[in-house]
Amino acid sequence: MKMNQLFGQTLREVPSEAEISSHQLLLRAGYIQQMGAGIFSYLHLAQRSLTKIEQIMREEIEAIGGQEISMPVVQPADLWKATGRWYEIGAEMGRMKDRNAREMALAMTHEEAVVYLARQLIQSYKQLPRLVYHIQTKWRDDPRPRAGLIRVREFTMKDSYSLDADWEGLDQQYQAHYDAYFRIYQRCGVPVVAVQSDVGMMGGKTAHEFMYLSPVGEDTLIICPECGYIANRQVAVFRKEAAKSEALLPIEKVATPDVQTIEALADFLQIEKSRTAKAVFLMGTFVKEQETEERLMFAVIRGDMEVNETKLANAAGAMALRPAMDEEIRAVGAVPGYASPLEIGNVLIVVDDSIVESPNLVAGANEEGYHLRNVNHDRDFKADIIADIAVAGEGCACVSCGGTLTAKRGIEVGNIFKLGTRYSEAVGCMFLDKDGREKPVIMGSYGIGVGRLLACAAEEHHDAQGLVWPISIAPYQVHLVSLRGGEEAAAALYEELQQAGIEVFFDDRDERPGVKFNDADLIGIPLRLTVSKRSLAAGGVEFKCRPCEEREVIPRSEVVSFINRQMEEQFAVLEGDAV
C-alpha cells in the first residue's frame, strides 16, 4: 500500500471529542472516523488490523472444533418473544417493523438465532456436541457511548455457541473457550485476567469476563492479592464481620430530630454504623405475563455496608432498577430519611444476610424525627427475600482467606456463559438421548468484541509519539520511508518486499523527513525501513524498530532476510515461544 493513495489522513492535534489514549491515537493516526454517538467507520488501516484479529479468533475457535457460520442481524421479534428477552430488555434493543408491520429486532447477540437453527437441525444425541461461531455486526443502543471504541452502539463480535447433550459436555466446551480466549489475547498482545461475573441479560448459571486492567475501565474488579480471588464488583463477595450475640431487647422509640443519614444517626446515638439498619428504596421492573410492571423494593442492609444493585436485582428477579421517588415511598407508609421495614405494605422487602445475624439494630420509625432501637429481623419484621446484597470493596476481608481486598479498574474484552437449558427449553429445542427420551439441548455462549479488543491493544501499546502495534495485529509489518535521493531504490525495495510476502506500507509522499517520521511513529507499524541518499551512501537501508531509538544500516542485499528474522522474533514473543 502506498501512502500517497491512502483514503484518510493523520492529524497533528488531538481531537476535542477524544477522551482516552486509544480514542485520540486511532483518530489522529487515521484509523477511525466517528459518524454518530457510538458509531464509527473503520478506515483502511483499522480494517486491516481488525481482519487480523478476526483471523486469530477463527484459528483459535476452529482449533477447539468451531464451525464458522453467518446469522442475520435483523431477526423476527417472535424469536426473542419466545425466550422472553423481547420483554426483559429495555431501550437498549433496536426494534422496528418491516413493511408488513411485522416486529423485528436488531440482534444484540445471537442466542435466539442459534437455538432456532438447532431446533431445526438437531434431533438426536448423535448430532451432539456441536460448536458454531460467527463474526457479525451487533447493535446495542447504549445510552452513554464513550471512550471511542471502548463503548459503542454498533460493533462486531465473535460469538460462538456450544450445543451439548449433557452438563459434562458443556463444562468441557466452557473450559476449552476459557483456554482459547487466553491464547487469543496473548496473540493480540493484550494481557487479561478472567473474573467471575454476573450473567446479566444472557441468563444461565455461570459466567466469566476477561478483563484488561486499565484506569480508564468502567468495571471495578475486586482482587485478593493473597489468595488470588478475583471477581467483578457486581458479583464479588466478602467476609462480613459477625455481630456479637446478645439477648433481644424490647423496641424503644427515640427522638432523632434532623437525623436522616446513617452517619448522622450513628453520631447522634454514639453507636457504630454496624449497629444500624440502612433503608434503600428502589423501583424494580418485573416481567409478568409478557408485560412489565414496577414494584417498590425496600432493601435493608447493615449501616456499615452499601447495597449492590446488581445483586439486589438478581435476588429479586428484577430486570431493571431505578431510585424511588419520595411520593412512592410515602405511598406505602414509609417516611424518607426515617424509613423502617416495620408495618409497611405493598412493598418487596429484600434483606441482606448480615441483618438476619445482627441483633438489636437501630432502624427508622416511619415517623419524622424518630428512630427505633432494638429492631430485630424475624421478631419485628420478616423479609420476602434474604440474600447477600452488599457491595464488596477496597479494604473488605476476602471470603476465601480473610486477606484484605483491593479494587482495580478494568475493561471487559470478552465473556463466556454457561447458558444451560434456558433458551432450548423456551423454544422447544429438544433431542432424543440414547434411551429415546426427549431432552433439552444444553448451551453455552462465548463472545469477544473485535473493535474493543483493538482499542485495548492501542491502550496497552502506545507511547508519547503514537501507536506501537504488536506485529500480529499491525495493519502492515513494515513501514517503508522514501527520502530524497532514495526514491528509485525505495520503489524497487517495495516491490521486492511484497514479492517476498511481507506486508509493506510505503510512504512515497513528497514530504519533509520530519513529517514522514512523525507519521510513522503515530501510525505505529512495528518495523521501519528508510531509504535515503545517506543510507545508500552508508551501504544500504536504515532499520529501526518502532519502540526503540537505535538505528542500524542493513546491506541492501540482506534486507528481506533481515526483516523476516525480525518478524519471526516478534511473533515468537506473542506466541510465547521466545527463548
Q: Look at residue 393 and tell me if it is in a domain.
A: no
Residues 126 and 202 in one domain: yes
Task: Give yes or no: residues 230 and 257 share one domain.
Answer: no
- Do 313 and 352 share a structural domain? yes
For the record, the C-alpha cell of 138 comes out as 451487533
Q: Looking only at Cα atoms, what is the longest distance across the chain?
A: 97
Query: Are 374 and 425 found together in one domain?
Result: no
For every residue of 192-230, DSSP letters joined together read -EEEE---GGG-SSEEEEEEEE-TT-SEEEEE-TTT--E
Q: Of 359, 387, 415, at which residue does a domain stop?
A: 387
Range 376-382 contact pairs with CB under 8 angstroms and sequence separation of 24 or more: 376/248, 377/351, 379/248, 380/251, 380/342, 381/340, 381/341, 381/342, 381/349, 382/349
* Same domain assignment for residues 568 and 528: yes
Question: What string of pLDDT tens digits covers the 579 residues of the chain?
Answer: 999 999 999 998 888 888 899 999 999 999 999 999 999 999 999 999 999 999 999 999 999 999 999 999 999 999 999 999 998 888 999 999 999 999 999 999 999 999 999 999 999 999 999 999 999 999 999 999 999 999 999 999 999 999 999 999 999 999 999 999 999 999 999 999 999 887 766 666 788 999 999 999 989 999 999 999 999 999 999 999 888 889 999 999 999 999 989 999 999 999 999 999 999 999 999 987 778 889 999 999 999 999 999 999 999 999 889 999 999 999 999 999 999 999 888 899 999 999 999 999 999 999 999 999 999 999 999 999 999 999 999 999 999 999 999 999 999 999 999 999 999 999 999 999 999 999 999 999 999 999 999 999 999 999 999 999 999 999 999 999 999 999 999 999 999 999 999 999 999 999 999 999 999 999 999 999 999 999 999 999 999 999 898 999 999 999 999 999 999 999 999 987 543
Q: Residue 497 sits in which domain range?
A: 478-575
Whether 29 is in a domain gets the answer no
How is residue 163 annotated by DSSP?
E
**Do 153 and 295 share a domain, yes or no?**
no
How many structural domains is the chain composed of?
Answer: 3
Look at residue 327 and tell me if it is in a domain: yes
Q: Both ends of the chain: CA-CA distance in Å? A: 33
Could you tell me if 231 and 257 lie in one domain?
no
Q: Which of 498, 518, 496, 500 is nearest to 509 (CA)?
A: 518
- State pTM to two decimals: 0.91
C-alpha cell at 534: 545517506
Q: Same structural domain for residues 182 and 213?
A: yes
Per the CB < 8 A criterion, the answer to whether 166 and 442 are in contact is: yes
Task: Identify the CATH number of the domain in which residue 434 sits.
Answer: 3.30.930.10
**Is residue 123 domain-shared with residue 176, that is, in the same domain?**
yes
